[in-house]
Amino acid sequence: MFNRRDALKSIIVGGAASVFSPNTLLASTAPKKEKLGIALVGLGYYSTDLLAPALQMTEKCYLAGIVTGTPEKAEKWKQKYNIPDKNIYNYQNFDSIANNPDIDVVYVVLPPSMHKEYTIRAAKAGKHVFCEKPMAPSVSDCMAMIKTCNDNKVSLAIGYRCQHDPNTQEFMRITKEKLYGKVRMVACGTGYFDNRTTHWKQNKALGGGVMGDMGVYALQGARLATGEEPIAVTAQASTTRPEIYKEVEETMMFQLQFPSGALAACHTSFGIQMNYLQVNYERGWLRMDSLSNYSGNKGSHSKGIIDFPIKNQQAKQLDEDCMALMNSTQLIAPGEEGLRDIKVVEAIYKAAQNGGTVKI
Ligand code: NAD
């Protein structure tokens, strides 16, 4: 049986995952969508304050549906964004989204421990998945998510908005083109003061801890600035508020060794405001300040400045990821990129616990 959903999938499915040859795609008579329908799963801070407003600015996608466990939120969003009842789901009836042709992409914006379940359910429903960072609390979760998306021939993108930011792309370019020779040293810090006490960020079972949350920005800073994958880590976890950070770390310092010999010293914290990247090359330097904010990231280097203003980072991310689906081109940050970080995050936790160097 080749139903409407399969027809649509054949048009917007990501390149390598497609079961159809390029000729089959061209020959398909199913109408090509101008804009993909996105359903947000989890209507907390990030969906409410950043993603839904961004989806009012996007050109390649729109807010088509929501998945929430709170009926009052459903009513509020329905009114505010004119969402039809048929596109509103709860966590129990979510799987019936499979039969809804309005929804092309499910965007998982839940606490990290829930990313795997909702990515897998969305993939099994035949929907492409965008999943927030950190991809999941463990490497095995990430691998299961990637496998299920592959098995169901849907694409998986991780919400690494900074990789869509031209300011990030510029410091990556400077390394890639060896403007100042090899990278020798990186320092990177990402953190803010979180005054909550019982949020999922302080709860281990829900995937809390600063390393997965803010730490992946520092890790991404080091990985993207070197253009390499770390081969060994050391790490130290600490807290200044043990009455709040009972289960997870408030602050993590971690040091990375890269194959070229480059070294990185990174810090991340729920108790310290910091957002910078410093790169020292053989013959030059670069500094981003800020590195990973929603807007206004900028920096300078030995011979110039990095300052590319953008209208809306999340809208750019959403449009670029949807365009990749529509054109069967590479996603900027697919599931495999989320997995690369979580492999390092796991090694960092191991190093912090055992006190030695952990090879990756
Ligand atoms: P939040 O706590 O504000 O929202 C989480 C949502 O999940 C809420 O609507 C909550 O009701 C729902 N939920 C369902 N089951 C839950 C449970 N058992 N426990 C707790 N909440 C439950 O969190 P957030 O800040 O919106 O973060 C959500 C995801 O988005 C996380 O993965 C986070 O890392 C990511 N995020 C990304 C960025 C970014 O810049 N890319 C920024 C903020 C958050």
162 lines ligand 1 (CB under 6 A): no
Atom 35 of ligand 1, nearest CA residue: 132
Edge to edge, the sheet with strand 88-89 lists 88-89, 61-67, 36-41, 105-108, 128-131, 156-158
What per-residue confidence (pLDDT) applies to 232? 98
Calculate mean pLDDT across residues 93-113: 98
Calculate mean pLDDT across residues 42-49: 98
Supply the mean pLDDT for the chain: 93
What per-residue confidence (pLDDT) applies to 23? 32
Q: pTM of this prediction?
A: 0.93
338 lines ligand 1 (CB under 6 A): no
192 lines ligand 1 (CB under 6 A): no
* DSSP conformation class of 135: -
Centroid of ligand 1 to alpha carbon of 42 (angstroms) = 7
208 lines ligand 1 (CB under 6 A): no
Residue 290 preceded by cis peptide, ω within 30: yes
Using left for φ > 0, alpha for ψ between -120 and 50, and beta otherwise, residue 151 falls in alpha
69 lines ligand 1 (CB under 6 A): yes
Calculate mean pLDDT across residues 30-55: 95
- Do residues 235 and 219 lie in contact, with contact meaning Cβ atoms separated by under 8 Å? no
* Per-residue pLDDT reduced to its tens digit, 207-250: 999 999 999 999 999 999 999 999 999 999 999 999 999 999 99
Kindly give, in sequence order, each residue whose CB lies less than 8 Å from that of residue 165, ignoring residues fewer than 6 positions away: 297, 308, 310, 313, 316
- Our mutation pick for probing the ligand 1 site, out of 94, 110, 297, counting the most ligand atoms within 8 A of Cβ, is 110
Active site residue 217: yes
Residue 250: exposed, middle, or buried by beta-carbon count in 10 A (0-12, 13-18, 19+)? buried
Angle between helical axes of 166-176 and 215-226 (0-180°, round to 10):
40
- Do residues 328 and 13 lie in contact, with contact meaning Cβ atoms separated by under 8 Å? yes
Closest atom of ligand 1 relative to the 50 alpha carbon: 42
- Helix H, strand E, coil C: the string for 173-191 is HHHHCCECECEEEEEEEEE
What per-residue confidence (pLDDT) applies to 110? 99
Task: Measure CA 56 to chain center.
Answer: 20
One-character DSSP codes across 336-353: HHHHHHHHHHHHHHHHHH
Separation CA 168–CA 181 (nearest Å): 19
Written as six digits, the tokens of 99 are 């039969």
3-state helix, strand and coil shares in percent for the chain, rounded to the nearest 5: 40, 25, 35
Active site residue 176: no
What per-residue confidence (pLDDT) applies to 32? 83
Atom 2 of ligand 1, nearest CA residue: 44
Domains of the chain: 1-160+312-332 (3.40.50.720), 166-309 (3.30.360.10)
Centroid of ligand 1 to alpha carbon of 104 (angstroms) = 21
Q: What is the CA radius of gyration of the chain?
A: 21
